[in-house]
Amino acid sequence: MLFKNKNITRMLAVVVLVMGAMMPVAHADDDEGRQPAVTNAKWVAECSACHFAYPPRMLPAESWRAIMAGLDKHFGSNASLDAADANEITVFLEKNADTRKKSHESSGKPLLRITETRWFKSEHREVAARTWKLPKVKSPANCAACHTKAESGDFNEDNVKIPK
For residues 105 to 124, the per-residue mask of contacts with ligand HEC, x marking binding by CB under 6 A and - elsewhere, is --------xxx-------xx
What residue type is assigned to position 76 of the chain?
Answer: G
Among the listed residues 9, 36, 131, 148, the single contact to ligand HEC using CB under 6 A? 131
Question: CB count, 10 Å around CB of 20?
Answer: 16
Applying CB under 6 A, among 146, 151, 153, 154 the residue interacting with ligand HEC is 146
Q: How far apart are CA 120 and CA 136, in angstroms?
A: 20
CB of residue 128 vs ligand HEC: minimum separation in angstroms?
A: 9
Which of these ranges, 6-14, 17-25, 99-107, 130-138, lies near ligand HEC under the rule CB under 6 A? 130-138
DSSP collapsed to 3 states, 95-158: HCCCCCCCCCCCCCCCCCCHHHCHHHHHHCCCCCHHHHCCCCCCCCCCHHHCECCHHHCCCCHH
In this structure, the number of other CB atoms found within 10 A of the CB of residue 92 comes to: 19
Q: How far apart are CA 147 and CA 11, in angstroms?
A: 22
Q: Torsions phi, psi of 85, nearest 5?
A: -65, -45
Using rule CB under 6 A, residue 15 touches ligand HEC: no
Neighbours of 40 (CB within 10 A): 22
Closer residue to ligand HEC, CB minimum distance, 19 or 94: 94
Segment interacting with ligand HEC, rule: CB under 6 A, options 9-17, 22-30, 48-56, 94-102: 48-56
Site mask for ligand HEC (CB under 6 A), range 57-96, x = bound: -x--------x---x--xxxx-x---------x-------
Contacts with ligand HEC by CB under 6 A lie at: 31-33, 46-47, 49-51, 54, 58, 67, 71, 74-77, 79, 89, 113-115, 123-124, 127, 131-132, 137, 139-143, 145-147, 155-157, 160, 162
